[in-house]
Amino acid sequence: MKITLKVWRQPGPDAPGKFETYEHDGIIEDMSFLEMLDVFNEKLLEEGIEPIAFEHDCREGICGSCGCMVNGRAQGPGDGATLCQVHMRHYKDGDTITLEPFRAKAFPVLRDLIVDRSAFDDIIQAGGYVSVRTGAGQDANALPIEKAIADEAFDAATCIGCGACVASCPNGSASLFTSAKLAHLNILPQGEPEKYDRTSAMVAAMDEAGFGACSNLGECEATCPKGISLEYISLMNRNLIWSELFERE
C-alpha cells in the first residue's frame, strides 16, 4: 500500500526544524511501524537523502525507547502498546502519517524524532533505589509479603520510562513516571523506611528538571503503553504531604 509520511526533520538540538514529506508505495500491512520506517530509510538512502533518525532498541515493547508523536498521539494508535508493537494494518492505502518528536521542555530534541530523556535518569538518581540494609539475595525469599502488596508493586514496576506520559500531558508533567517509580519501591517493606525521604527527593528532582505540574487530566494514563494507573500519583502526593509534615516537626 502507499503511505505518505510527514516527518519532522531537525539535524541537531540547536538547528531549526521543519516537516518534510515522503511517499512510498511498497508498504505491507504486516510490517511493524518501525519496519515501515526502515523501508522508508532504505528508499531515502537510495535517493541520497539523510535517513530519518528515530530511537529504538529491543523492538519488543520492553525498552521504551521508540516513542514519538504519531498523528498527535504519543506511541501511535495502539492501545496498551509501544510504537514498535504497532503494525501497519492500523492504516489503509493512501494514508498520510504525521511524525514528530515528543514535545516537552524537559525533553529537548536531539535529532529528528529523537529526544533527550536523561531527565528521567536524574529523577531515578535522586532516590529510585533502596539504600537501607535488606539482607543478602537469598533473604528476599524469606521476607513474607502479602500477594496484594507484591502485585501492586509489580504493576507499578511495569513502567518502562518511555516518556509517553510526559508527551501526552498538556503540562509536560512526569508525575505518572515518577509516581510509578516511587510506588514500586515505597509499597514494598524493603523500601518503606525511606519512602518519605525518597518521595521528597524524587519530586524535587522532577521539578528541577523542568517538568510541569499534574492537573489530573488523565492523558498520561490513556496513552501509557503499560497502563500505569493515576492512583500512583495520588499515593505520591499523600507521601509528599507526610514528608513535608515530618520536616516541620
pLDDT digits (tens, 9 = 90+) for 52-104: 999 999 999 999 999 999 999 999 998 899 999 999 999 999 999 999 999 99
**Up-side HSE of residue 145: CA atoms within 13 Å toward CB?**
19
Model confidence pLDDT, tens digit, residues 124-178: 999 999 998 887 877 777 788 899 999 999 999 999 999 999 999 999 999 999 9
The phi, psi pair for 244, rounded to 5°, reads -70, -35
Extents of the domains making up the chain: 3-111, 117-248
The phi, psi pair for 195, rounded to 5°, reads -65, -35
pLDDT at 112: 98
> Grid coordinates in use for 10?
531537525
Topology annotation, domain 117-248: Fumarate Reductase Iron-sulfur Protein; Chain B, domain 2 (1.10.1060)
Nearest Cα to Cα of residue 82 among 39, 33, 121, 154: 33
Gap between the Cα atoms of 134 and 190, Å rounded:
6
Gap between the Cα atoms of 163 and 226, Å rounded:
12
Residue type, 129: Y
Contact, 110 vs 116, CB < 8 A?
A: yes
Q: Strand pairing of 69-70 and 18-24?
A: unpaired
Q: Indicate if 117-248 has the same CATH topology as 3-111.
A: no
pTM, to two decimals: 0.93
Superfamily of 3-111 according to CATH = Beta-grasp domain (3.10.20.30)
The DSSP code sequence of 142-158 is GS---HHHHHHHHHHHT
Alpha-carbon radius of gyration of the chain? 20
